[in-house]
A and B are shown apart, each in its own frame.
Chain A
């Protein structure tokens, strides 16, 4: 009996509940002489740093050093994609940007020191507004394009057309553990960094770059993160670099931990996006042609914005076939923090646009939105606008059918209509929406994973792989994969902290790919070891090596299960016989490619599918609402770990719900983020958890080319929350008299946004 595919708890659950699970900053007490760093932040959204005088700071008790551009031994540059991110800027590009850092004996002294640093700024004009930046043509890349057929002609030919636009707001990651790093010099004087990073290899690279070292002089470890969601993919690097610089210059261990307000004002967010679209369709709601521009607010520098906008374009079809398509993505530069990766990586922004469009088409025609959705699903043989064949297109209708049945969709639509006819002030809405999400990094070379497995002579095992644990349960799945493949109990396997000196040149743990890439690599390493151990055990069992079964610490011939050796015994024998008990594993995803010039290729290994039906109730007096019930059916292939997968689905849904409803980023006119902490930026709380929350995993969905038939699950469920937005729109529409036509609803659909939507519907209803 193996634990693979069994509902087991997170491998650290016991440490979580007792408080003994350590996160980067929890290690602070282990470093005597630790220095604390505090940023000197700029009070302008755009300004030149004219002079920086640290003398008053150095006079503050406890202040040890002030770090500025002149202190950088290597490059003053941390940009991951393009050298456009100085660690210590001479030109301030967003409000609150750090221009220097103060190191001191205590946090309090560092803060006082930072307040005492005198900086003279020459304020410069700032562009904060997305539309103003578009008008001024402030772009960070050339246009990104996907095109198929002739959209202009398709629109021309279409019996019906409509144009519109939708702005969707950004989202703060609000991982509960803020960004942190502790750097110290190791026994050989080289740099060791504990970092809360999704991408230790890149953190290592940036630290080396800033310090002017080679990578082998820098080791980065990530024990675990208290959430990341993409926010620690490239944006963990700066803090590690500051800590490492402090350690290198002072010889003392140095700690950076951002306060919540610093975290939200210094780090990037999900891209706010403005979509402008024109769609052609027929009288049944069949989508015929789409022309759309997506303008993503990239903030001040490039960051990961290009692949993010590509992913937005790649998901602008969601699950729907559209013949003639012309999609253009633009990364707009504004004087805000640099927008960055966030669960879904642009996919949600693309997908919400097409769902918006489908709903508008349906309401324009007076057809039920779920019918228009279903009518347009991809069919066998279809390709996406970027030319990738849609494999398993029947998954979507299957999910649709099973879910509408299990959640009693049609009967509930009827009941809701009845309820709404009786309740003038509280209307209910119900909507079902699909998700088709492409899995793989769209930048092909990231699609590789590595592992290192060590078997000790007593049969205990250490496992290393390139992925990081941020709560998504990757380590749990990897332990299951390792234990299953080696045929040992979970308890015999120890997961080692992710460290750059175990597996080099790793990819970020991102794009939902952590388990696919590292799991496949780990499986290879374990298979290598098992094969060697089989050679050792075979003579003793009097059987051929390929006849042996490794199962939960026992090794036996399939034909004679009663005669078994212990795994420990075999390991011991192997050592004695000089058989190597360490192995690496490596995996690269086959067949991934994408040509930016033609906008075609196969950027994804496969698609993950799902659908959700959500019911809401809206109060017509205030616009306040509640989610009454959610039903989800989601495709995770053969689940490696059902509890983990269900957790990802539910957590992703609620996080998506936050993005689409409560979570509103507000910047003041001077560019300061007004919603910088939990009191002003509202995450979903317990009250947002749907009282009825049914989640099922799709059966018969094994994915042939992925580790043990599984599928990635981190990101796709996030977009299931679009059903909640559509349910709100459905409820809003019910306040109108009869068929209301297009129902505009701002995003996020805060109570205020819903309130105004209701007002509009009522007004148009009274005119009719």
Chain B
């Protein structure tokens, strides 16, 4: 089966392709060289393109993503704008004009990616001021960013007859299921959970891909080549967001950007986490399911979700089981998921703990991987007594983990600086982290306790 999509308003049909092909390789192979490769791992944004998608509020929008991590198969049925499609009829787009006027380019290699990110931000529905992260997923080695930041801060509003704005008045394309099978391999994109489970059973070697921000990095950097890829991006049941009296239920294949929009800051731990998690370009594709399934000890959502007592739902042909997240990680990059299961949803019980904090220590503040991350939550009653404590960490053990002894020690005591001091020695014994290029073992060990002290300092002025 050939796949079809729309690229800069023109139809594209691809009859046969290797399922490991990225959109970036495809574009450049077709001579569309405006989209650049700077890293092939989602870090530099030189490859940014925009997808026409629906956001969590139901608006059509241009969603910038990294073409180096977008599989060609995923493009099926989509509408895509690349740098070549931004100037219309020989007229520069306002963001392009602004980049020229403010000297936003030097060598120009990063520039197409910045223009795409700025373009998407320009049309973001409901934009009143700039999303400070709109260009945080783009690296520039020449300019030092000041002029580009000024372009972002100075964006005007599109006019009524702006063709892109007119496009956004209409619905985004609906994605159809894809079953691409060829000599080069298979790309399968079912539309239902049942369909996904069946394909998984029929193709035991199939590798699941959601946002692809881990899977495709492996393809590009470790040269993993998959015969069969099973994409969850179009499974309706995995894209749900539900809030009831006793819990919030988040579909495993929702993008982090969509979750961010749905939650709108109502879960402080996650609201603090999101801006520190990769970049906007990545979060537009990355999913919570993918982050948990990767089971990296330095993944950022696990400490936050552990602190929230989250549960995971695993679906299989024989039904769905629910597991506390704290029982989910079984070893270094290992989980309790069975081969025939798909992670369907993550639930956060309500009411939420009244003290919540997420800390991420990394070299670079934005878009970096954690040296140590901590998710803290406390339920503190009116008398200041702790009824439940969660001290969850990433980067200190082979799996994301809670410091259970320290948690137990805190319960029943009054939340005070004294208590923190007495908890520290217990906390200090909880883990024995290792050292690597992100940080020494000593640094990590010390951070484990310092972050709890920081929690006290940051929250003692008033409840979080």
Closest A residue to B437 using CB positions: A666
A647 adjacent to B140 (CB under 8 Å):
no
CB contacts (< 8 Å) of A25 on chain B: these are 33
A644 adjacent to B103 (CB under 8 Å):
yes
Among the listed A17, A22, A173, A175, which residue makes an inter-chain contact with B99, where contact means beta carbons less than 8 Å apart?
A17
Q: B40 → chain A, closest Cβ, in Å?
A: 6
B143 adjacent to A650 (CB under 8 Å):
yes
Q: Assess whether A32 is interfacial by the CB under 8 Å rule.
A: no
A685 adjacent to B136 (CB under 8 Å):
yes
Instruction: Identify 13 new A-B residue pairs, CB closer than 8 A, beyond the known A224-B108, A683-B139, A688-B364.
Output: A13-B103, A17-B111, A29-B33, A176-B107, A176-B139, A177-B107, A177-B109, A226-B108, A227-B107, A647-B103, A689-B144, A751-B362, A751-B371
Instruction: Give Cα distance in the complex from A124 to B125, angstroms.
Output: 61
B141 adjacent to A227 (CB under 8 Å):
yes
Among the listed B29, B101, B109, B148, which residue makes an inter-chain contact with A176, where contact means beta carbons less than 8 Å apart?
B109
Chain B proximity mask over A468-479: 1 for CB below 8 Å, otherwise 0: 001111000000
CB contacts (< 8 Å) of B96 on chain A: these are 14, 17-18
Chain B proximity mask over A740-768: 1 for CB below 8 Å, otherwise 0: 00000000001110011001000000000
CB contacts (< 8 Å) of A682 on chain B: these are 363-364, 368
A226 adjacent to B109 (CB under 8 Å):
yes
Q: Assess whether B215 is interfacial by the CB under 8 Å rule.
A: no
Q: Assess whether A26 is interfacial by the CB under 8 Å rule.
A: yes
B223 adjacent to A686 (CB under 8 Å):
no
A21 adjacent to B108 (CB under 8 Å):
yes
A678-B365 contact given A19-B33, A226-B108, CB 8 Å threshold: no
- Contact sample, A vs B, 30 pairs, CB 8 Å cutoff: A17-B92, A17-B100, A18-B86, A18-B112, A19-B33, A19-B35, A19-B84, A19-B112, A26-B33, A176-B38, A177-B109, A226-B36, A261-B221, A619-B454, A621-B451, A621-B454, A647-B147, A650-B144, A653-B144, A654-B144, A655-B144, A664-B437, A674-B437, A677-B39, A677-B221, A678-B43, A682-B363, A683-B139, A687-B365, A752-B443
Interface residues on B, range: 35 or more
For the complex of A and B, list the 7 residue pairs with the smallest distance between their C-beta atoms, beginning with the closest.
A19-B34, A471-B107, A226-B109, A16-B108, A654-B144, A678-B43, A19-B83
A176-B46 contact given A227-B107, A678-B139, CB 8 Å threshold: yes
CB contacts (< 8 Å) of B135 on chain A: these are 686
From 20 to 57 in chain B, residues with beta carbon under 8 angstroms from any chain A beta carbon are: 28-29, 31, 33-36, 38-44, 46
Closest A residue to B84 using CB positions: A19
Closest B residue to A424 using CB positions: B457
Q: Assess whether B340 is interfacial by the CB under 8 Å rule.
A: no
Q: Assess whether A675 is interfacial by the CB under 8 Å rule.
A: yes
CB contacts (< 8 Å) of B36 on chain A: these are 23, 176-177, 226
CB contacts (< 8 Å) of B82 on chain A: these are 19
Q: B69 → chain A, closest Cβ, in Å?
A: 12
CB contacts (< 8 Å) of A23 on chain B: these are 36, 109
Q: Assess whether B337 is interfacial by the CB under 8 Å rule.
A: no
A621-B453 contact given A647-B147, A650-B144, A677-B41, CB 8 Å threshold: yes
Instruction: Give Cα distance in the complex from A227 to B36, angstroms.
Output: 13
CB contacts (< 8 Å) of A284 on chain B: these are none
B108 adjacent to A10 (CB under 8 Å):
yes
Instruction: Give Cα distance in the complex from A173 to B362, angstroms.
Output: 21
Q: A677 → chain B, closest Cβ, in Å?
A: 6
A689-B145 contact given A16-B111, A18-B92, A260-B39, CB 8 Å threshold: yes
Q: Assess whether A44 is interfacial by the CB under 8 Å rule.
A: no
A626 adjacent to B365 (CB under 8 Å):
yes
Closest A residue to B443 using CB positions: A752
Q: Assess whether A373 is interfacial by the CB under 8 Å rule.
A: no
Among the listed B86, B87, B111, B437, which residue makes an inter-chain contact with A680, where contact means beta carbons less than 8 Å apart?
B437
Instruction: Give Cα distance in the complex from A624 to B140, angstroms.
Output: 22
Chain B proximity mask over A7-43: 1 for CB below 8 Å, otherwise 0: 1011011111111111101101100000000000000
B221 adjacent to A17 (CB under 8 Å):
no
Closest A residue to B143 using CB positions: A651
B450 adjacent to A622 (CB under 8 Å):
yes
From 250 to 302 in chain A, residues with beta carbon under 8 angstroms from any chain B beta carbon are: 259-261
Chain A proximity mask over B151-179: 1 for CB below 8 Å, otherwise 0: 00000000000000000000000000000
- Identify the interface centre among A15, A176, A662, A666: most chain B CB within 10 Å of its CB: A176
CB contacts (< 8 Å) of B136 on chain A: these are 685-687
Q: Assess whether A679 is interfacial by the CB under 8 Å rule.
A: yes
From 110 to 158 in chain B, residues with beta carbon under 8 angstroms from any chain A beta carbon are: 110-112, 115, 135-136, 138-149
Q: Assess whether A693 is interfacial by the CB under 8 Å rule.
A: yes
Q: Assess whether A646 is interfacial by the CB under 8 Å rule.
A: yes
Instruction: Give Cα distance in the complex from A10 to B99, angstroms.
Output: 11
CB contacts (< 8 Å) of B35 on chain A: these are 19
A425-B147 contact given A18-B34, A647-B106, CB 8 Å threshold: no
A755 adjacent to B105 (CB under 8 Å):
no
A685 adjacent to B364 (CB under 8 Å):
yes
Q: Assess whether B447 is interfacial by the CB under 8 Å rule.
A: yes
Q: Assess whether A140 is interfacial by the CB under 8 Å rule.
A: no
Q: Assess whether A441 is interfacial by the CB under 8 Å rule.
A: no
Instruction: Give Cα distance in the complex from A678 to B139, angstroms.
Output: 9
From 78 to 123 in chain A, residues with beta carbon under 8 angstroms from any chain B beta carbon are: 111
From 295 to 326 in chain B, residues with beta carbon under 8 angstroms from any chain A beta carbon are: none
Q: Assess whether A225 is interfacial by the CB under 8 Å rule.
A: yes
CB contacts (< 8 Å) of A473 on chain B: these are 106
A227 adjacent to B139 (CB under 8 Å):
no
Closest A residue to B145 using CB positions: A689
A226-B107 contact given A20-B34, A678-B41, CB 8 Å threshold: yes
CB contacts (< 8 Å) of B368 on chain A: these are 682
Q: Assess whether A328 is interfacial by the CB under 8 Å rule.
A: no
B83 adjacent to A18 (CB under 8 Å):
yes
From 522 to 562 in chain A, residues with beta carbon under 8 angstroms from any chain B beta carbon are: none
A175-B361 contact given A229-B141, A680-B437, A686-B145, CB 8 Å threshold: no
- Identify the interface centre among A18, A19, A226: most chain B CB within 10 Å of its CB: A19
Q: Assess whether A492 is interfacial by the CB under 8 Å rule.
A: no
Q: Assess whether A643 is interfacial by the CB under 8 Å rule.
A: yes
Among the listed A472, A689, A751, which residue makes an inter-chain contact with B363, where contact means beta carbons less than 8 Å apart?
A751
Instruction: Give Cα distance in the complex from A9 to B144, angstroms.
Output: 16
CB contacts (< 8 Å) of B86 on chain A: these are 18
B92 adjacent to A260 (CB under 8 Å):
no
Q: B45 → chain A, closest Cβ, in Å?
A: 10
Q: A302 → chain B, closest Cβ, in Å?
A: 27
Among the listed B92, B115, B361, which residue makes an inter-chain contact with A751, where contact means beta carbons less than 8 Å apart?
B361
